[in-house]
Structure 1
């Protein structure tokens, strides 16, 4: 049976590869392709849209154009991709290079000119095809750790002409991987109250047994009715210890295929539905991503294939059956999980029901909840399911259920602050409380008259917080009144302990200068090769504002030849 499946996989794999040009795109680095992140692996609130290529724990490696084309987009932001470059190719595909340290000299000069014209570090431009043409093997940038990167690497993508990311390995790039995927947990999900697994009518983790041949089995279960299953798994490649995503998951019930998840391509519009694909509650409470091998309402992922009966199986009384899960990495290494099932009706018993909260959400209707000075508005289709929601107000603290239910849209939280003094009103913001000590974190807050409003895509506990302390600004590599002739850059540390940094502005002798903000290190850096200054005596002025509007000003004089 496995041999037949393997032959089918090889034929399908070869066919799918032939849809994409195999020798068109090169490795964008000179180093061996070793991945810290694979395509479409599960991330917080999204599927990973490319490959994270290791750069030997260094920054500054040459980044090459994967093929000829032209720079069609440059985006620089404090978060997300950081410094990112997009190249459009004659065959219609677009390659993306992100978390860069800097661009090649030609591209760097082009974008810095735009930044100085706009007087902004964060910028997005769309050059015309004739402005920045690119040749194959041309160095276009240098690898870095900018944006929301957790360490030095190159994020690399290939997108089609509809801006849908595609697994770059489908284009012939090779990664050494001879290891089977690892399975760490299996769950069973009775679909309704008429179904059960081992007399339990709610989800249940099953006892996973590793076999000597590298596959897995689950301790035999008694079940009845419509049952779904979920799995926790990862892939580990030969040259890296990272726990990466798998490439394909299929399920079979008594030899008949009833579900497939194929991680080859997706669109950015659908990536939010990852929170419906995984067991969101288990992720939030246990930090484990269970992939549900059945399809619930609202899960419209295009990566789903050959789904029969929504991926559920129907277990009849007095039957014996086998449910199998096949998990594959891109190179075709596979692991199997076998679940023997004995059909058995549950014993009749009286069920106890937990007391439910008083408020009820209808997923296809909007809902407004109000109490005292706080209101919450949910647009229709904010949630995937109808459910009882916990809503309670105590003083300025809002308990809005637990953060275990995924949202498709932002809900709107509003506070009436008319009972506060005018001075206090200007320092208030809406915060979400995290952790054991309920530490407040700023939620993007706007004020209109006596109302504060915040939009959030998560439930949890919220409160009003006050920020009356201005940001701090400290020089790192210079002192007031000193010479800086030998320095290549000027670096400053900026911090705000509560609401966070909102914006900043720096000038030398009254001229705006480009300072790069690294939020992970709380630094602003200006590079003298921008050639903005030509005077010997220079007056630096930096203004930093937090999200509430508290501001600090730093001034210093330095000398340079």
Structure 2
């Protein structure tokens, strides 16, 4: 085995000296069906760029998932949310392949991880096997596709990462997807940089009238402008075998024939993924659910996918000129669409502008900022925001208005409530909630208690309030009844729910022994597999305790018989 490990790292070093940055024909399709994507690499998601390919699994679970190449299982993570059941395989060439939202693992991996779960008495685990514990051969079945974690439907999330844990587009390694369609353009916008610039006499973002051309490209009606101007687009790509609106692969801009900006969606690091909220127009996304990709670079946007950016991507329109701004949008297969924006340079007409109304409080991005009123205080660390701005701050009883959730944030901040005026009984049931929607429905934020202070950390602005949860969670059996024989069942299932603060934890035992119950938060179910063989008696006593986020608890007990 020592020889194999030495050979592993020798091969890694040798390959690192190769001039080919991405090996072709090394990694295989992880499924044995035609590759059809519901999500592409680096496409725009909420608060992050997508780090892999979402491969369709024909609207079902249980498809065989193959190792993309030989190697060893270097990490297994199981969580209620996020990737759900995820598997990481390190390969001799130094890359790591990732398989997520799995239904279950292959027998040898399943045996390994279940032993860990029972040892830790926890469904959620994260393990890092050594290179000789779970070796993987080429084309080995390592798992079965599923819909676990934050998945919105059955599919396989597949990644390839380099030795610095940076995700890379798997299509760069020769994995093929049929795509002959050019990207689509939905909208185009112009952004005057400051008060000295204008577009059609407007000094704020302006949507341009988009004109599809017969050749598949696009243009806009001519605009009149002056000064420093940036542009933004809403675009997507579509493969031949799917109707999903996926992300594009590359965007370039040209002004009078000279390249001024490029965004190349090839590779990124997880630490920078948050800057997506600086790359898109965050306010438009939060209010209209449309992601405008800004083809200019504002302060704090340090995305490594940016290339050849001249003058931060802005163009300078001068008086009495006729120019053209062009955008080239490409997918991975090289299909492309062009956008042309004719521009005539002229000064703005004199416009009497109303004075801008500004709140009383101002945020300095490079400083600590603290706000306080009545029983509520807010603490923003340095560099919580990308830029300085006026913040709308107000307190009404236990309700905190903290601007609108339209400002992108870099760090979490802390909200603190003084609850000394509440009774001891009420204090134990209080939590800090963010209020959503027209009816201001409360949503739990992880709340800490220290004496008479409640505090919570969050990374979004909005309206917050104290909420009180006095209702215990519910537990109801799904496929069995108390006192019945269950010999023919493969699984034991119950439904758990909490109507306000949400489920915090649960614990289940049979005859006093801990059992592994998988929690599917999307279906509010706990499932126990009788193959675990924890119950060895004919008469069995099931006990489940479920606790919500403020400590309300419910205990469910039942007796069943099984041979």
- TM (norm. structure 2) is 0.96
Match of 2:447 in 1: 445
CA distance in 2, matches of 1:450, 1:127: 44
In structure 1, the residue matched to 2:126 is 124
| Separation of aligned partners in 2, 1:52 and 1:349 | 50
Q: CA deviation at 1:532?
A: 1.1
Give structure 1 stretches of 5+ with no counterpart: 1-16
SS of the aligned residue for 1:270 comes to helix
1:313 corresponding residue in structure 2: 315
Cα deviation per residue 1:337-364 (whole Å; 9 max; x = unaligned)?
Answer: 0000000011233322221101000100
In 2: Cα distance, 1:208 partner to 1:445 partner: 47
Q: How does 1:124-523 map to 2 (within 5 A)?
A: 124-523=126-525
Question: Take 1:320 and 1:480, find their aligned partners in 2: how far apart are those partners?
Answer: 81
TM-score, length basis structure 1: 0.97
| DSSP 3-state at the match of 1:25 | coil
Corresponding residue for residue 15 of structure 2: none
State the Cα distance separating 1:18 from its structure 2 match: 4.9
Q: Distance in 1 between matches of 2:349 and 2:320?
A: 14
Shift of 1:279: 0.2
Which residue matches 1:4?
none
Runs of 4+ in structure 1 displaced over 4 angstroms?
A: none
**2:90 paired residue among 88, 91, 100:** 88
Listed one character per residue, the Cα deviations across residues 179-231 of structure 1 (whole Å, up to 9, x for unaligned) are 11110010100000000000001111111111111000011000000000000
Higher mean alpha-carbon deviation, 76-85 vs 341-350, is at 341-350
User: Counterparts of 1:19 and 1:451 in 2: how far apart (Å)?
Assistant: 54
**C-alpha distance in 1, partners of 2:400/2:210?**
41
Please give the root-mean-square deviation of Cα atoms over the aligned residues, in Å: 0.7
1:500 shift after superposition: 0.3
Query: How far apart, CA to CA, are the structure 2 residues paired with 1:175 and 1:122?
Result: 34
Matches of 2:556 and 2:139 in 1, distance apart?
Answer: 45
Q: State the alpha-carbon separation in 2 of the partners of residues 210 and 445 from structure 1.
A: 51
- From 546, 551, 559, the equivalent of 1:549 is 551
- Aligned equivalents of 1:285, 1:455: Cα separation in 2: 23
| Distance in 2 of aligned mates of 1:471 and 1:201 | 53
Superposed CA deviations along residues 276-313 of structure 1, whole A, max 9, x for unmatched, are 00000000000000000000000000000000000000
CA distance in 2, matches of 1:38, 1:480: 48
Partner in structure 2 of residue 12 of structure 1: none
Matched, 1:533 2:535: yes
2:7 match: none
- Give SS of 2:172's match: helix
Count of matched residue positions in the alignment of Structure 1 and Structure 2: 545
Partner SS for 1:113: helix
| Corresponding residue for residue 4 of structure 2 | none
